[in-house]
């Protein structure tokens, strides 16, 4: 594969889970992947508890803004990971779809968001190892 693999993280509001997943992916895989996140019904802002939980691990997502899910974003991605958005994600042949069942951080304090953040990190690490392993050269 000559071009970088691309991943799209989708949740309803694009304010918590998908933002944390995209941030972890970018942080851990660097420029080996292209990463996007979007929501089927984007919120006005990223969940403050998600921002705080990521700040605790040294990742700043304060500049992120929830984005609307578009057909183009799905078509441009090799792997689409949904996080509780149900049937809102358009399905295209040849794409890989994963559904990560995760707690919803909406309305939760940072204490409740930490385990969600850590679970997302574990799943992201496994996905990176699978689709964009580090060169052993």
Contacts of 92 (CB under 8 A, 6+ apart): 74, 75
Q: With the C-alpha atoms ordered 53, 49, 103, 71, is the resulting torsion angle positive or negative?
A: negative
Query: Active-site positions?
Result: 11, 85, 89
**Residue 124 three-state SS:** helix
**Helices 17-29 and 48-55 sit at what angle, rounded to 10 degrees?**
30
């Amino acid at each position: 594969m000559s071009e970088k693999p691309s991943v799209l993280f989708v949740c309803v509001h694009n304010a918590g889970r998908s933002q944390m997943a995209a941030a972890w992916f970018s942080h851990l895989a660097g420029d080996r992947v292209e990463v996007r996140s979007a929501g089927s019904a984007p919120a006005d802002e990223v969940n403050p508890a998600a921002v705080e939980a990521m700040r605790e691990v040294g990742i700043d997502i304060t500049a992120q803004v929830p984005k609307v899910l578009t057909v183009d974003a799905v078509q441009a991605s090799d792997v689409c990971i949904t996080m509780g958005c149900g049937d809102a994600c358009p399905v295209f042949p040849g794409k890989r779809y994963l559904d990560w069942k995760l707690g919803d951080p909406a309305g939760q304090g940072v204490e409740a968001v930490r385990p969600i953040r850590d679970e997302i990190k574990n799943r992201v690490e496994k996905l990176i190892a699978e689709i964009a392993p580090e060169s052993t050269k």
